Structure 1
Amino acid sequence: MADPILVPAEELAAKNKAHFANESAEYRDARNALLREEIELRRQIERVSSLRRALPRGGEVAKDYEFISESGPVRLSDLFGDKDTLMVYSMMFGPQRKAPCPMCTSFVSAWNGVAFNLRERVALVVTARSPIERLLEYKQERGFGFIPFVSDTSGDYTRAYVTVDDADVPGMSIFTRRDGVISHFYSTEMSGEMTDPGQDPRGAPDLDPMWLMLDLTPGGRGTDWYPKLKYS
């Protein structure tokens, strides 16, 4: 199927009729120029998403990894439920940590809200290396009622799809199940070594909508503010 012919962003932006009280001509010119870039950004996001969706089937999962859930041992295959796509987020909350990662907590807080709808399309679970009792205490404390948590106490899954050296790092991986065969589809792979100057390490697209909302503000993300587990 041929790619659709897109109207130039300049022509689409020229259709904009928005004006706001007391704005200057300078503001309107700059805002319309920004609108053209926003249209191009939307198109770039869709181009990247299309490339991601078109990835060939990844490697077949070598073993049906075991986790510990609230109700006992479960396998990776069990986490799919009745879905053919599984999203697994590995958060930074290993047994050596005194408290869960605030940044990971921000991610999961946002996803808990959308999980009510998301789980109609895909399965989503959060895993970490801490014992399940610790994870469930954390889940209850934060009110994460829509996302199941499982413990990767053996570390077999984490070493295969997140980090080979047992480092306490985050990662998102997507798996598919076709004709009973579970395959890896996609994992986030942007590392700190790929960070652009003046930016904190981040992936693209950003999976935490908090940062996207801050991007709309005059102060942006800032350079010295990060989420916390508690605020005084």
Structure 2
Amino acid sequence: MTSTADSARTLKPAVDLAQSTRRFPGESALYRRARNALLAEEIELRRHIERVAARRRALPPGGDVPENYRFEGEYGPTTLRQMFGEHDTLVTYNWMFGPKRSRPCPMCTSLLTALDGEMADILQRVAFAVIARSPLERLTAFKKERGWRHLRLYSSGGNTFNRDYADEDPEGDDNPAFNVFFRSGDTVRHFWGDEMGPLTADPGDDPRGAPDPMPLWTILDMTPGGRGADWYPKLEYAVK
């Protein structure tokens, strides 16, 4: 698969680019050969990520949003169109913190905590909304507890947004979901939604998306022990 961007330029073979001149103290020739081979794979992975992103951007127009959903926001009732603000693009994340949960999903919370730190930069390009079915008071109370500063929270308890765009059963469990919407004039269309999950997971792998939006996993994937299988992010940790 070759993207339009790749076809317009000639790329050197990854193995040619991967002949790194870097050397770390004490490394062996065996290590350097293996590291350069891995570097070639990393270059190919970067290129593949770029090809996938280009194909995503080239998607044909998605479906018209069937209604101007109404949410309870931190500054009063809000519609989906109002969430866009000055932007033409809106990213939404369905947070697993429905009314049946006593506490929110730790994995979602880990991701959102990382995104809160990036939000001032993200909001330069697009609007971003965190949506959950719990009453707004529960959402904002946890926001204060967690110390989030920039995330914008909305309760969808009074509409069908989670059913329509996160494939949730109103009587069932919560589902995490990223969705992207695009506004042109008075028309709002769905641009993209993540569709990777348990049914698309390979044996033994987490049902994660690609690229993985979790900075936590990106860091751990660089380590000898990887992600591990005997732990899970927590909502709070004991102070040492």
TM bucket (normalised to shorter chain) is over 0.9
2:230 to 204, 215, 224: 224
Q: Which amino acid aligns with 1:61?
A: V
Partner residue in 1 for 2:29: 25
Query: Separation in 2 of the partners of 1:200 and 1:192?
Result: 8
| 1:39 equivalenced with 2:6 (yes/no) | no
The alignment's TM-score, normalised by the length of structure 2, stands at 0.94
- Flag as ranges the 4+ runs of structure 1 deviating above 6 A: none
Shift of 1:155: 3.8
1:206 to 212, 218, 221: 212
| 1:145 equivalenced with 2:141 (yes/no) | no
> Aligned runs of 1:78-97 on 2, under 5 Å?
78-97=82-101
Q: Which amino acid aligns with 1:24?
A: S
Q: Which amino acid aligns with 1:85?
A: T
Bigger Cα displacement from structure 2, 118-127 vs 158-167: 158-167
Shift of 1:70: 1.3
Query: Separation in 2 of the partners of 1:217 and 1:155?
Result: 43
Partner residue in 2 for 1:12: 17
Query: Separation in 1 of the partners of 2:151 and 2:184?
Result: 24
Query: Separation in 2 of the partners of 1:20 and 1:4?
Result: 33
Query: Separation in 1 of the partners of 2:223 and 2:8?
Result: 34
The secondary structure found in structure 1 opposite 2:39 is helix
The secondary structure found in structure 2 opposite 1:110 is helix
Q: Which amino acid aligns with 1:8?
A: P
Query: Separation in 1 of the partners of 2:168 and 2:99?
Result: 17
Query: Separation in 2 of the partners of 1:103 and 1:93?
Result: 11
The secondary structure found in structure 2 opposite 1:113 is helix
Q: Which amino acid aligns with 2:18?
A: A
Query: Separation in 2 of the partners of 1:165 and 1:107?
Result: 23
Q: Which amino acid aligns with 1:168?
A: D
Is contact 2:70–2:159 with CA below 8 Å preserved after alignment? no
Query: Separation in 2 of the partners of 1:213 and 1:165?
Result: 34
Identity %: 50
Is contact 2:168–2:175 with CA below 8 Å preserved after alignment? no
After superposition, what is the alpha-carbon deviation per residue over 1:42-100, rounded to whole angstroms, capped at 9, x for unaligned? Answer: 00000101100111110010100000011221100000000000001001000100101
Query: Separation in 1 of the partners of 2:151 and 2:237?
Result: 24
Query: Separation in 2 of the partners of 1:88 and 1:196?
Result: 26
After superposition, what is the alpha-carbon deviation per residue over 1:178-225, rounded to whole angstroms, capped at 9, x for unaligned? Answer: 122100000010120111111121111111111000000000001122
> Aligned runs of 1:85-124 on 2, under 5 Å?
85-124=89-128
Partner residue in 1 for 2:76: 72
Count of matched residue positions in the alignment of Structure 1 and Structure 2:
231
Shift of 1:164: 4.5
1:163 to 150, 163, 167: 167
Shift of 1:3: 3.1
Shift of 1:5: 1.4
Is contact 2:196–2:208 with CA below 8 Å preserved after alignment? yes
The change in CA–CA distance for 1:164 and 1:103 in structure 2 (over 3 A counts) is closer
Is contact 2:61–2:189 with CA below 8 Å preserved after alignment? yes
Partner residue in 2 for 1:196: 202
Q: Which amino acid aligns with 2:37?
A: A
Q: Which runs of 5+ in 1 are unaligned?
A: none
| 1:57 equivalenced with 2:41 (yes/no) | no
Q: Which amino acid aligns with 2:15?
A: E
RMSD: 1.0
